[in-house]
Structure 1
Amino acid sequence: MEPVLDWLQISVLALIQGLTEFLPISSSGHLILVPEILGWPDQGLAFDVAVHIGTLAAVVLYFRNDIWLMTRDWSRSLITRQPTSNSRLAWWVILATLPAIAFGFLINNGIEESLRNPLIIAATTIGFGVLLWWSDIKGAKIRDEHSLSFKDIMIIGFAQAVALIPGTSRSGITITTALLLGLTPQAAARFSFLLSIPLILGAGLLKLKDLLESSTPVQWEAMLGGALISFISAYIVIALFLKWINQVGMAPFALYRFALGALLIYLFI
């Protein structure tokens, strides 16, 4: 049975989803941990669908011009066999998504559920925080997303598959890897955000399929409210992150991960 959520839970959980989906701090980790810390029941499948729709709408709206150019040039290149930078970028998004899809099918047997442990999340939060900071220090920061090669894409794609482990952060691991490959922080973030679109869409469709097959009633006001809050907060995060990331760097996010990991260890050890 789907839980009945009050507006405090709806607002907090949707805001967390919107704020953390695109920051390198793990949205899944927060959505697992916040209800556990506050003693709230699991938010349920319907709410997960709603907040995924909200964040997907935010990233699609923000990158609507890029998506249009990538789609147009990719479609033309299938006929003309003459690639452009936009058609290559579209191919890179498609190809870099495949390892995560394959890995997702492989662990779709309960392994992921067994990893939803606060101490495992603490370890991945801290460990990948160290790697994020190190990549910010060591990365050359001279390339943009259009300079990526097939080899680069496969490396980023397999790194993204690791993010299926709770606490890793999909955006965090893809930005980390892109930085180590020499991309600027803004270029790394832009490619990470574009790369999120097929995965958020796929995850949302799978959850929606499960929801449609379920006979439990849906709290539609919770879904609509959650989708709207996650959409607004995610759009603001994307815009501000891309505006400031070249100046701010990854250190604040790494430090946040260290603090969060330490708090989890303190609370659950």
Structure 2
Amino acid sequence: MWDYLQGVVLGIIQGLTEFLPISSSAHLRIFPELFGWEDPGAAFTAVCQIGTELAVLLYFRKDIWRIASSWLRSFVRPELRGHLDTRMGWFIIIGSLPIVVLGLLFEDAIDSALRSLWIVATMLVVLGIVLGLADRYGSTQRTLKDLTVGHAVLMGLAQAAALVPGVSRSGATISMGRALGYEREVTARYAFLLAIPAVVGAGVYKLKDVPGSDNPYGWGPTITATVVSFFVGYAVIAWLLRYVSTRSFLPFVTYRVVLGLGVMGLLAAGVLSA
């Protein structure tokens, strides 16, 4: 029963942090350590993220259906190939390639060495500063209509940086989008859509490792966390899109830096172990 309660707590953490630019993987690494729990591991994290991606699929179901149908129909209807929805389909596919390739190449390091709390804390601070600078100095002239193949590749490469816990998939993509001059809400929406293939793919790929030694919780608590993350994540999507339409990312930048420095201090003091 205690494992299931931990699953509920970790599911809430995952749902609250997946879409905010503060790194859900960092929180799933830090907070169990603070609570004295075992590291849930990369497999638990990846599978749990399926819940939040199902929330994306539900929330953006109309957009996803429109993009997917336009992309598929473009193979037999040439006049649709220049349509925004068709191009979005290709941009999401192209932008997903870097994280897939790099994820497979560096799987062992992602599952082990890169989960060091020193690395997690450093990435929280560094990418927090990057996000702050990109949001502060990036223009807001571009919308989704201005998205190009080159920009899709750059945002895909930024998303791939989130293979390192502490970076934040949404945070890295949003930082690149803001640096390229895209509106805050546009970058957030595109970050959500771009993450779908990578996150769902990683979660399905890691299902085989759920009963393994790297996941101390097993199937029951992992499924519980996934379900909880779905409901919490859905609420967070709606809130974040409303928030970024009128406000900056400064609160998230501040939180990242404070949390990262706090973890470094606890590591230095011996309260936490890397």
Q: TM-score, normalised by structure 2?
A: 0.90
Does the CA contact (< 8 Å) of 2:29 and 2:40 recur in 1? Answer: no
Does the CA contact (< 8 Å) of 1:175 and 1:192 recur in 2? Answer: yes
> Which of 18, 38, 41 is the matching residue for 2:38?
41
Tell me if 1:53 matches 2:50. Answer: yes
The equivalent of 2:272 in structure 1 is none
The equivalent of 1:232 in structure 2 is 231
Does the CA contact (< 8 Å) of 1:69 and 1:86 recur in 2? Answer: yes
Write the letter of the residue equivalent to 2:70. Answer: D
Structure 1 runs not aligned, ≥5 long: none
The equivalent of 2:170 in structure 1 is 171
Aligned residues: 265
Matched position secondary structure for 2:107: coil
Displacement of 1:48 in angstroms is 4.0
The equivalent of 1:138 in structure 2 is 137
The equivalent of 1:94 in structure 2 is 93
Displacement of 1:220 in angstroms is 5.3
Residues 42/94 of structure 1: CA separation in 2 closer, same or farther (3 Å cut): same
> Which of 52, 58, 68 is the matching residue for 1:71?
68
Structure 1: how far apart are the matches of 2:210 and 2:7? 18
> Which of 9, 27, 38 is the matching residue for 1:12?
9
Does the CA contact (< 8 Å) of 1:55 and 1:231 recur in 2? Answer: yes
Does the CA contact (< 8 Å) of 2:71 and 2:85 recur in 1? Answer: yes
Structure 1: how far apart are the matches of 2:219 and 2:160? 32
Residues 152/239 of structure 1: CA separation in 2 closer, same or farther (3 Å cut): same
Displacement of 1:12 in angstroms is 1.4
Q: TM-score, normalised by structure 1?
A: 0.91
Displacement of 1:144 in angstroms is 1.5
Residues 260/194 of structure 1: CA separation in 2 closer, same or farther (3 Å cut): same
Does the CA contact (< 8 Å) of 1:47 and 1:222 recur in 2? Answer: no
Does the CA contact (< 8 Å) of 1:130 and 1:254 recur in 2? Answer: yes
Structure 2: how far apart are the matches of 1:175 and 1:44? 26
Displacement of 1:47 in angstroms is 4.7
Deviations 1:194-226 (A, max 9, x none): 011001111111111334899x99865534432
Tell me if 1:28 matches 2:43. Answer: no
Does the CA contact (< 8 Å) of 1:23 and 1:171 recur in 2? Answer: yes
The equivalent of 2:271 in structure 1 is none
Write the letter of the residue equivalent to 1:56. Answer: E
Does the CA contact (< 8 Å) of 1:133 and 1:250 recur in 2? Answer: yes
Does the CA contact (< 8 Å) of 2:52 and 2:229 recur in 1? Answer: yes
Write the letter of the residue equivalent to 1:69. Answer: R
Structure 2: how far apart are the matches of 1:187 and 1:129? 20
Tell me if 1:150 matches 2:149. Answer: yes
Structure 2: how far apart are the matches of 1:87 and 1:189? 20
The equivalent of 1:108 in structure 2 is 107
Matched position secondary structure for 2:22: coil
Task: Identify which range, 77-86 or 36-45, moves more after superposition.
Answer: 36-45
Does the CA contact (< 8 Å) of 1:5 and 1:43 recur in 2? Answer: no
Structure 2: how far apart are the matches of 1:12 and 1:160? 26
Structure 2: how far apart are the matches of 1:142 and 1:133? 18
Deviations 1:201-256 (A, max 9, x none): 11111111334899x99865534432221011100111000011122211000000
Does the CA contact (< 8 Å) of 1:171 and 1:192 recur in 2? Answer: yes
C-alpha RMSD of matched pairs (Å):
2.2
Deviations 1:2-50 (A, max 9, x none): xx74343122100111111111001111111111111102336775465
Displacement of 1:112 in angstroms is 5.1
Structure 2 runs not aligned, ≥5 long: 269-274
Displacement of 1:162 in angstroms is 1.3
Residues 105/180 of structure 1: CA separation in 2 closer, same or farther (3 Å cut): same
